[in-house]
Amino acid sequence: MELQDKFGRKFPYIRLSITDVCNYKCTYCLPQGYKKTPGDNRSFMSAKEISKLTKALSELGVCKIRLTGGEPTVRKDFFDILKDMKQNSKIEKVTMTTNGYRLDKIAKQLHNSGLDGINISIDSLERETFKNLTGHDRLPEILTGIKILQDLNFKSIKVNAVLLKGVNDTDKDFDIFSNFIKDNKIDFRFIELMETGDNREYFKKNHVQAKKFKEYLNKNNWLYQTYGKNAGPSLNYIHPDFEGKFGVIAPYSKDFCKTCNRLRITARGDLRLCLFGNTGTSIRHLLQNDNQKKELVDLIISQLHHKKASHHLEIGDTGITPNLSSTGG
Ligand code: SAM
């Protein structure tokens, strides 16, 4: 079975948020730190509910799940969830997105648990700037964590940075990232800042078009690398003199949504058909018993008919997404 929408897009990939809570205060996401969504008293899905969900998803042809949040590692049962997914489901790839919190301490355990890939968010490689952006002086421990993973021959390490005016958007800043991946087998990706319900003013002041970084790549002889039809929205670049790769995620670019290959499930068990907009429904009531699996599978399939062609972010429609921590970025 394959999940497919009316535009012919396939969805082998799920972003699964396991908590809204984040311990960082990134200026563009949660500048005041995490606060409970007013009026939403629902708990986060339990490890048991997540286990049932994972099994249903693998029947729907999902072969990759990315654990995200909030910050997934703040959940006390994070490793139980990860291990269950690796050991008791047919999902081929389980990856995660993390702010790198305690990465130096948990790198080995991540590797031993069978994690297939890690995306680490590092918006600046300058310690002071990193601290000012996130509210945490944790860059050295994240870099140590990456080194530990590399020494363990960990398969797939990606670093993401949000492109921000005055923070990391000059050729000098791009050179710093470029030096970082020169001898380092890391995929480094710039994500264009997205407007959300909470960050409108910040967005107006700090948004930089991804084309600024693309121009840098062209100037420095990076080669655009094409992938297959279902490869997802990152544009990837390689260079013969570099171990690492660069990538650009440009959500405001014209055909961005044409390559969408993912659905999202929030920590409270809502299926979201897009990071933005308001399409989707709660599926949590169908995660209570094993005999609900068919109903759950049918509900997810029927919801896909509501997936829209585009996120409409370009017209400032941020839907019900106050910040990415609440949906699972
Ligand atoms: N806590 C984890 C982390 O920091 O990677 C996972 C959740 S976080 C919401 C996922 C990613 O979304 C991070 O790379 C973060 O920088 C990015 N992000 C958050 N808000 C964003 C925005 N408004 N525009 C673009 N990227 C954003």
Token reading at 268: 């409270």
User: Does 2 fall in a domain?
Assistant: no
Other CB atoms within a 10 A radius of the CB of residue 223 amount to: 11
Residues facing 264 on adjacent strands: 15, 272
Structural domain count, the chain? 1
Torsion sign (Cα): 25, 28, 31, 34: negative
Residues facing 159 on adjacent strands: 120, 188
What distance in angstroms lies between residue 140's CA and the mean position of ligand 1's atoms?
20
Q: Quick one: pLDDT at residue 253?
A: 78
- The pLDDT mean for the chain works out to 92
User: Does 6 fall in a domain?
Assistant: no
**R_g of the chain, CA atoms, integer Å:** 19
Helix (H) or strand (E) holding 13, with range, is strand 13-19
Find the mean pLDDT for residues 93-109. 97
The residue type found at 221 is N
Q: What pLDDT, in 10s, does the model give residues 225-243?
A: 876 655 667 899 999 999 9
**CA distances from residue 66 to 133, 169, 319, 328 in whole angstroms, order as listed:** 24, 28, 23, 10
User: Does 124 fall in a domain?
Assistant: yes
CATH of the domain at 256: 3.20.20.70
What distance in angstroms lies between residue 98's CA and the mean position of ligand 1's atoms?
9
Token reading at 267: 């920590």
Q: Rounded to whole angstroms, how far apart are CA atoms 162 and 316?
A: 18
What distance in angstroms lies between residue 234's CA and the mean position of ligand 1's atoms?
15
For residue 268, give its domain range. Answer: 13-326
- Nearest residue (by CA) to ligand 1, atom 4, is 99
Find the mean pLDDT for residues 34-40. 83
Checking if the pLDDT of 270 tops 60, the result is: yes
User: Does 37 fall in a domain?
Assistant: yes
User: Does 300 fall in a domain?
Assistant: yes
Q: Which residue has the tokens 């530990």?
A: 148
Mutate to test the pocket of ligand 1, among 30, 74, 78, 97 (most ligand atoms within 8 A of CB): 97
Residues facing 271 on adjacent strands: 265, 281
User: Does 7 fall in a domain?
Assistant: no
Which residues, judged by CB distance below 6 Å to any ligand atom, belong to the binding site of ligand 1? 22, 28-29, 68-69, 71, 97-99, 121, 160, 162, 191, 193-194, 196, 199, 324-325, 329
Q: What pLDDT, in 10s, does the model give residues 143-200?
A: 999 999 999 999 899 999 999 999 999 999 999 999 999 999 999 999 999 999 889 9
Residue (of 218, 95, 313, 130) closest to 321 by Cα position: 313
User: Does 322 fall in a domain?
Assistant: yes
User: Does 8 fall in a domain?
Assistant: no
Q: Rounded to whole angstroms, how far apart are CA atoms 311 and 264?
A: 14
Q: Quick one: pLDDT at residue 227?
A: 67
